[in-house]
Amino acid sequence: MKRLWKRGILAAILALFGGAFAFSPGNVECIAPANPGGGWDFTCRTGGKLLYDLGIVPRPVKVTNMPGGGGGVAFAHVVTQRKGDANLLVAASPATTLRLAQGKYGNFTADDVRWLAAIGADFGVIAVRADAPWKTLDDLIADLRKDPTKIAIGGGSAVGGQDHMKVLLLAKAAGIDPGALKYVPFDGGGEALTSMLGGFVQVFPGDASETIGQMQAGKIRILAVLSEKRLGGDFADIPTARELGYDAIWAVWRGFYMPPGVPDDAYAFWVEAMKKLEASPEWAKIRDESGLGPFFKGGADFEAFVKKQVADFKELSRALGLIK
Amino acid sequence: MDVLAQLAHGFEVALAPLNLFLAFAGAFLGTLIGALPGIGPVNGVAILIPIAYALKLPPESALILLAGVYYGAEYGGRISSILLNVPGDAGAVITTLDGYPMAQKGKAGEALALSALSSFIGGTLAVIGLTLFAPYLAEWAIRFGPAEYFALMVFAFTTLASLAGKNPVKALIASVFGLMLATVGIDPGSGVPRFTFGELKLYDGVDFLVVAIGLFAISEVLTLMEHSFLGTATRVKVETALVSLKTFMGSLWTILRSSLIGFFIGVLPGAGASIASAVAYTTEKRLVDREGSFGSGDPRGVAAPEAANNAASGGAMVPMLTLGVPGSGTTAVLLGALMMFNVTPGPLIFEQRPEIVWGLIASMYIGNVMLLVLNLPLVGWFARILTVPRWFLVPAIAALSFIGVYAVNNSAFDLLFMTGIGVVGYLMRKAGFPLAPVILGLVLGRLMEINLRRALAISGGDYTILYASPLSKALWALAILSLFFPWIAGRLGRRR
Amino acid sequence: MERGRRTDRIAGALLLLVSAGYGLEAWRLQADFLADPLGPRAFPLLLAASLAVFSLYLLVRPDPDPAWPPPHVLRGQLGMLASFVVYSYALAPLGFLLATTLEMAWLSRLFGASWRTGLLGGLGLAAALYAIFVFGLGIPLPLGRWWPA
């Protein structure tokens, strides 16, 4: 009771003195729905740190790792037990929307939470060994068209996961039967990449950030990036798949959602906070250093983007025979 | 020698006062983190990354701090394994098998000291291997494809026969139980959830540490209660004496062999400290355990897994640095940290950022010495934990187990699952089923199945891929040799 | 002799049931999309079959029974297990400090300490662990959802 009363006064003061938002953050928590070491953990730890460094939140953001179910455990926890908690952010990515689309979060859907913003993105790439016979994406597609069973594609995710979806999308864009592709799932991009270096698989549909080291060393060749526009830095010379006539885009966006029932003033505050974070030079620095590219969508934009992505993924997964 | 000149330069970096202090701080924190059950090197490194970043440390200093936590945690994990039968982290699970019985026999000091020495030797040998052979080792690691991993897992399984105990069928049942647990979760080859019963928590599979802590710690608490109620509890004598030269020399070959096994397994991106310690233990039991004393407090049973898990964490640095590929969960976090400091790991890192690579390698030499110096004097202190009165000690073991798991996973389900596994473990112990095979089945099962299926996916169902390469042929030969080892050894023994 | 080998017989029968249940569940698995010729069922079915064989062996050739704990020990063990379940659920709402103190006190009592010493010991351990985790390592522990912040 006392807390509510205090908050009321605070809100009143803020409203009086021109504060645009009645909400002010308290002890903010960010849930990374996986163990340390992955993209979600990165999103929470760097995002949380920047929110504090930029003075957007009063105290350091508490990062909680809640692994399980490919993010499903955290999703269920947030929907059922944290309703209306305006101090809670949860890290998300296309892995979240893909699993929602494929029904891997039980009965939960994308409508169950409030989608906040995406602040950056990694992009899919199609990589082969430097000594592979394929110099361009067209070469590879031509051979895949001839006999898809001859080429083993090793990705870092399970069947139906992100790396698998990338090649399925590409095959679909090229008019190849996606079901005929030979996809071999590995535990993470690193293992898949090693397997390609060892010659056990021939193609690695990874992310730009995973492949940059081996590309610089000249051990692998990147045939195309799956982004809308060309990427910067070392990737500037590499064409996009779209340029080459294959409409396949895979943006591994990094973003957040919030629990259902978060008041609109708080939601507006957080959208604004994410805008500020995304525009900061500090974030630009970390983003570039981590191999991510700029990508921002916030608030209603992001809600619409996510809902559309889930619908697209659902249709695609169904068309590809991944779900019924 | 180019390498030596580079290393000398590395020592200059590592011996700078700030870096020396950071190596010490990392080693100390790591030991603490490792000793707390459930919280292992992965969490330790993840916790410190933002701190390192906030302190605006230069990349090599930050990496030295984080690496210190990493191998410090591998040291610390053994402490609770030996004293309380609570595995401190995944690499220290096997250490409970002989470490805890040793402590119960009053040899806690000896077990702690010997394991510290084994860790030191394993860790140092691994760094030497890393210094001299890193690029060649990377080439070797690349040659491990799915078929080779499958053959390696089959070999590891044949060493499991050494854990058979009194009733081999019960050991077999225990390992099948472990294998069954390993099949829980989303099947990567088809995307289908298996044996999850709709529980989202199980989609990623059962958590290895939750099972290990339940199996060892919770069942131990139940056993301790039984003894305490029946008045059959024996007072544990606590001798804080360090290890005798004789015991140490008796374990020396075990330590050296296990370091080698641990290092090579650590270098492989698909394996890690838990597999390394398990394989080293079962191999040693096969080779040297003539009296059948492994499992009831044999010092060599403590030395083997501890040398192996520290060697493995050194080995895991090889693919991380040379290929930019994480060899374990912890190196995955370290890799993320490197990227944040604008260092791109990969084949070029040795040329582009020598100060980072060689500074890190030099700090690993120093860190290992520090850990030994830090750990040996503390042995007596740690051993005295056993003199804590039972009414406090036993509940504290339970509370520590629960909190460690909860702090990492934030899930009541994991605690219930752990309790359930604990009950199963207690019943198994009473009925004479050995627990170690469960752990091995769980560790090896997933890799065995998935690599077999990967190999067949690549070959399109052609089974000859499984023994096509010279490397896989060698591993199969090793597996066959291991299977018939007792018979061969027996023949040789008779002839002599 | 018949009475002395019940444990393994019961275990064998239970394990046979487990293998049947596990095998059935494996049989029902259906994949819409397969990456490899073996599929998700082969390995589990193999495991179910081996477990069935091993448990039959256990039924046919059981070992002598171990000494099972008498009723008063069982009661204590059940009391402890029940408290584990309660503790698992109580951590989030009650918060770490209170839940751990109470749990420790209850367990200490089972091991013969008085409520007073149990509570004091429990509070000491909980406070020490809280300090190590939260202040030392920066790992959050639940504060309790029932209390106002």
Q: What is the ipTM of this complex?
A: 0.94
Better-predicted residue by pLDDT, C32 or C43: C43
Among B54-68, B228-242, B264-278, B415-429, the range scoring the smallest mean pLDDT is B228-242
Residues of B in contact with C100 (CB under 8 A): 399, 403
Radius of gyration, CA atoms only, chain C: 24
Q: With an 8 Å Cβ cutoff, is A69 touching chain B?
A: yes
Tell me the two tokens of residue A217.
Answer: 């060393």
Nearest to B344 among A73, A183, A212 (CB): A212
Confidence of residue A2 (pLDDT cuts 50, 70, 90): very low
Distance separating alpha carbons of residues B35 and B76, to the nearest angstrom? 5
Of A4-8, B335-339, B464-468, where does the model show the most confidence? Answer: B464-468
pLDDT at position B179 over 90: yes
CA distances (Å), origin C139, targets A5, A203, B399, B410: 30, 40, 16, 11
Residues of B in contact with A187 (CB under 8 A): 188, 270, 450
Instruction: List, in order of start, the domains of chain A with CATH numbers.
Output: 26-122+251-319 (3.40.190.150), 125-235 (3.40.190.10)
- CB atoms under 10 Å from CB of B274, counted, come to 29
Residues of A in contact with C33 (CB under 8 A): 159-160, 179, 320-322
DSSP output for B337-395: HHHHTT---STTHHHH-HHHHHHHHHHHHHHHHHHHHHHTTTHHHHHGGGGS-HHHHHH
Residues 179-238 in A contacting C (C-alpha not used; CB under 8 Å): 179, 182-185
Distance separating alpha carbons of residues A95 and A72, to the nearest angstrom? 11
Cβ of A217 and B348 within 8 Å?
yes
Residues 189-208 in A contacting B (C-alpha not used; CB under 8 Å): 190-191, 193-195, 197-201
User: Quick one: average pLDDT of C25-38?
Assistant: 85
Q: pTM value?
A: 0.88
Task: Give the mean pLDDT of chain C.
Answer: 91
Residues of C in contact with B43 (CB under 8 A): 139
Distance separating alpha carbons of residues B430 and B420, to the nearest angstrom? 16
Distance separating alpha carbons of residues B46 and A31, to the nearest angstrom? 14
Tokens 């110099």 correspond to A135
Q: With an 8 Å Cβ cutoff, is C139 touching chain B?
A: yes
* C33: closest CA of chain A, how far (Å): 6
Among A36-50, B96-110, B157-171, B402-416, the range scoring the smallest mean pLDDT is B157-171
Distance separating alpha carbons of residues A255 and B326, to the nearest angstrom? 24
Distance separating alpha carbons of residues A274 and A312, to the nearest angstrom? 26
Share of chain A above pLDDT 90, in %: 65
Which residue type sits at B420? G
Residues of B in contact with A73 (CB under 8 A): 200-201, 411
Tokens 């290929």 correspond to B323
| Longest CA pairwise span in chain B (Å) | 67
Q: What is the pLDDT of residue C136?
A: 81
Residue to mutate among A66, A194, A210, A216, with most B CBs inside 10 A, is: A194
Nearest to A322 among C32, C148, C149 (CB): C32
Q: With an 8 Å Cβ cutoff, is B464 touching chain C?
A: no
Task: Give the mean pLDDT of chain B.
Answer: 88
* C11: closest CA of chain A, how far (Å): 32
pLDDT at position A17 over 60: no
Which residue type sits at A67? P
* B274: closest CA of chain A, how far (Å): 17
* A64: closest CA of chain C, how far (Å): 7
Q: With an 8 Å Cβ cutoff, is B190 touching chain C?
A: yes
Q: With an 8 Å Cβ cutoff, is B422 touching chain A?
A: no
Nearest to B180 among C22, C76, C138 (CB): C22
> For residue range B45-79, what is the model confidence (pLDDT) as tens digits?
887 877 777 777 888 898 889 989 988 888 888 99
Of B145-159, B339-353, C87-101, C124-138, where does the model show the most confidence? Answer: C87-101
* B39: closest CA of chain A, how far (Å): 12
- What strands, in cross-sheet order, belong to the sheet with A125-129? A182-185, A152-155, A203-204, A125-129, A220-225
pLDDT at position A187 over 90: no
Residues 46-65 in B contacting A (C-alpha not used; CB under 8 Å): 46, 49-50, 53-54
Q: Are B160 and B94 in contact (CB under 8 A)?
A: no
Tell me the two tokens of residue B404.
Answer: 């460690």
Better-predicted residue by pLDDT, C139 or C74: C74
Q: Are A150 and A180 in contact (CB under 8 A)?
A: no
Secondary structure class of B73 (helix, strand, coil): helix
Residues of A in contact with C34 (CB under 8 A): 159
pLDDT at position A134 over 90: yes
Tell me the two tokens of residue A320.
Answer: 């590809």
> What is the DSSP code (8-state) at residue B215?
I
Tell me the two tokens of residue B391.
Answer: 């009414």
Nearest to B43 among A36, A72, A193 (CB): A36
Secondary structure class of C30 (helix, strand, coil): coil
Chain-centroid distance, C-alpha C59: 26
pLDDT at position A1 over 50: no
Bridge partner residues of A90 (DSSP): A31, A257
User: Quick one: average pLDDT of B20-28?
Assistant: 91
Residues of C in contact with A103 (CB under 8 A): none
Cβ of C148 and A3 within 8 Å?
yes
Q: With an 8 Å Cβ cutoff, is C110 touching chain B?
A: yes
Distance separating alpha carbons of residues B340 and B360, to the nearest angstrom? 17
- CB atoms under 10 Å from CB of B270, counted, come to 26
Q: What is the pLDDT of residue A19?
A: 43
Angle at A70 between CA A68 and CA A72, to 5 degrees: 70
Cβ of C33 and A320 within 8 Å?
yes
Locate the domains of chain B by residue range: 2-495
User: Quick one: average pLDDT of B16-42?
Assistant: 89
Distance separating alpha carbons of residues B482 and A119, to the nearest angstrom? 54
Nearest to B345 among A68, A152, A213 (CB): A213
> For residue range A110-121, what is the model confidence (pLDDT) as tens digits?
999 999 999 999
Angle at B419 between CA B416 and CA B424, to 5 degrees: 130
C114: CB partners within 8 A, 6+ apart? none
Residues 11-50 in B contacting C (C-alpha not used; CB under 8 Å): 29, 32-33, 36, 39, 43-44, 47
Q: What is the pLDDT of residue A30?
A: 94
Q: What is the pLDDT of residue A247?
A: 92
CA distances (Å), origin B372, targets B80, B110, B361: 17, 14, 17
Residue to mutate among A85, A159, A201, with most C CBs inside 10 A, is: A159
